[in-house]
Amino acid sequence: MQHVPGEDRGRVMLYALSTCGWCARTKELLTDLGVGFSYVYVDLLAGEERDRVVREVERWNPRLSFPTVVIDDATVIVGFREEEIREAVGA
Amino acid sequence: MPDAVSDGEVNRLMRDLEAEAEAGGYHLNPDREFTCDLVRGLLANRERYGYISCPCRLASGNRDDDLDIICPCDYRDPDLADFGACYCALYVTADVESGKRAAAPVPERRPPPAERTRQKEERALVGRAPGTLNYPVWRCRVCGYLCARNEPPETCPICRVSRDRFERFM
């Protein structure tokens, strides 16, 4: 898991795929907003770690689709939904 | 983005995909930079898994389980009809390509794993049903092309996907 430093707007977690254009746009948006967040490229994980993270994503988003953004273990945004992401991080 | 793929490879596949798409009445996303990144993702997946699975979906690495998300995926055409773009937005409709209409965000249409297993079992049953036809009818799961012959064609003549993307229709 990687951390991008920035303003503290709660625990912002981005589950992404390294090959996906919408995941890239979501990461770019969070970076541009100056929000501190963590991200993980699930497609680059292997073995037990991958299984664990897949289960984690499925808990928030049973369809296991990407990008999935989770804020403060409560708000879940599936897909590159710019307005919803801006609103959720208060930017 | 994965950087193991060379720009030359990306441009080559992009050119091939574009030619094939236009020949079949499909269109690539005109946002070149975005499309280039998706093609890079397709090549990264080919390197990893041996096939170009959707860059915006998590592949299992098992071809049989990933068959429905090998590009063009089983969901491209219904998503083009409903949203003007496919899930990853590599393909768009003519009116989106020409800028007459913006593509809408595409929700994931692929069923969750348990549902996919159930559908697969159902399809296997249809394949075994006794028929009164002289030939079985095969349907391309990507573009809907139908043909009556003993086996599906090696490559779909319409959308170019491989034989294993066909299902028994009648």
What are the residues whose beta carbons fall under 8 Å from the beta carbon of A83, sequence distance 6 or more?
none
Identity of the amino acid at A3: H
Does residue A91 carry a pLDDT above 80? no
CATH at A10: 3.40.30.10
CATH at B23: 3.90.460.10
- Note down the domain range covering A62: 2-88
Taking CA A72 as the corner, what is the angle to CA A89 and CA A79, rounded to the nearest 5 degrees?
A: 60
Please name which of A27, A3, A77, A20 lies closest in space to residue B71, comparing C-alpha atoms. A20
Q: How far apart are the first and last CA of chain A?
A: 24
Bridge partners for A12 per DSSP: A71
> Looking at residue B21, what is its pLDDT?
93
Residue A9 phi/psi, 5-degree rounding, is -115, 35
Residues of B in contact with A65 (CB under 8 A): 57, 108, 110
Residue in chain B lying closest to A58 (CA)? B112
**B37: nearest CB among A21, A43, A80:** A21
pLDDT digit string, tens, across residues B105-152: 899 999 988 899 898 888 888 766 666 788 899 999 999 999 998 899
Does residue B79 carry a pLDDT above 70? yes
Q: Which of B58, B62, B88 to mutate to test the interface with A (most CBs of A within 10 A)?
A: B58
> Looking at residue B104, what is its pLDDT?
81
CATH at B134: 2.20.28.10
| Domain co-membership, B143 together with B74 | no
Neighbours of B160 (CB within 10 A): 17
pLDDT digit string, tens, across residues B26-70: 999 999 999 999 999 999 999 999 999 999 999 999 999 999 999
With bands split at pLDDT 50, 70 and 90, how would you rate the model's confidence at A29?
Answer: very high
pLDDT > 90 in chain A, percent: 98
Question: What does the pLDDT average to over B83-104?
Answer: 93
| Domain co-membership, B19 together with B84 | yes
| Domain co-membership, B16 together with B81 | yes
Mean pLDDT of chain A: 96
Does residue B3 carry a pLDDT above 60? no
Does residue B16 carry a pLDDT above 60? yes
Q: How far is B76 from chain A (nearest CA, A)?
A: 16
| Domain co-membership, B56 together with B133 | no
Point out the domain boundary residue: B76, B97, B118. Answer: B97
Residues of B in contact with A17 (CB under 8 A): 41, 55-58
With bands split at pLDDT 50, 70 and 90, how would you rate the model's confidence at B24?
Answer: confident
| Domain co-membership, B132 together with B93 | no
| Domain co-membership, B88 together with B136 | no
Identity of the amino acid at A12: V
Evaluate whether residue B114 is within a structural domain: no
Please answer whether residues B108 and A63 qualify as being in contact, where contact means their C-beta atoms are separated by less than 8 angstroms: yes
Residues of A in contact with B31 (CB under 8 A): none
> Looking at residue B128, what is its pLDDT?
64
| Domain co-membership, B81 together with B132 | no
> Looking at residue B101, what is its pLDDT?
87
Evaluate whether residue B123 is within a structural domain: no
Question: What does the pLDDT average to over B71-77?
Answer: 96
Q: Is ipTM strictly over 0.90? A: yes
| Domain co-membership, B83 together with B142 | no
Does residue A49 carry a pLDDT above 90? yes
Q: Which two tokens stand for residue A9?
A: 């707007």
Evaluate whether residue B19 is within a structural domain: yes
Residue in chain B lying closest to A51 (CA)? B60
The answer to whether B56 contacts A43, with C-beta atoms less than 8 Å apart, is no
Evaluate whether residue B151 is within a structural domain: yes
Evaluate whether residue B118 is within a structural domain: no
Does residue B1 carry a pLDDT above 90? no
Domain count, chain A: 1
- Note down the domain range covering B153: 128-168
β-strands A37-41, A12-16 pairing? parallel
Bridge partners for A2 per DSSP: A39
Residues of B in contact with A80 (CB under 8 A): 105
Evaluate whether residue B66 is within a structural domain: yes
> Looking at residue B133, what is its pLDDT?
84
The answer to whether A19 contacts B40, with C-beta atoms less than 8 Å apart, is yes
User: Computed from CA positions of residues B26, B30, B35, B39, in that sequence, does the dihedral angle turn out positive or negative?
Assistant: positive
| Domain co-membership, B72 together with B132 | no
| Domain co-membership, B141 together with B88 | no
Question: What does the pLDDT average to over A76-84?
Answer: 96
Please name which of B64, B100, B111, B106 lies closest in space to residue B85, comparing C-alpha atoms. B106
Please name which of B138, B38, B19, B44 lies closest in space to residue B86, comparing C-alpha atoms. B38
Q: Does B105 touch chain A (CB under 8 A)?
A: yes
Domain count, chain B: 2
Which three-class secondary structure string do you get for A27-76?
Answer: HHHHHHHCECEEEEEHHHCCHHHHHHHHHHHHHHCCCCCCCEEEECCCEE
| Domain co-membership, B91 together with B134 | no
Query: What ranges in chain B are assigned the alpha helix state H?
Result: 7-23, 32-49, 63-66, 76-83, 94-97, 113-128
Question: What does the pLDDT average to over A5-12?
Answer: 95
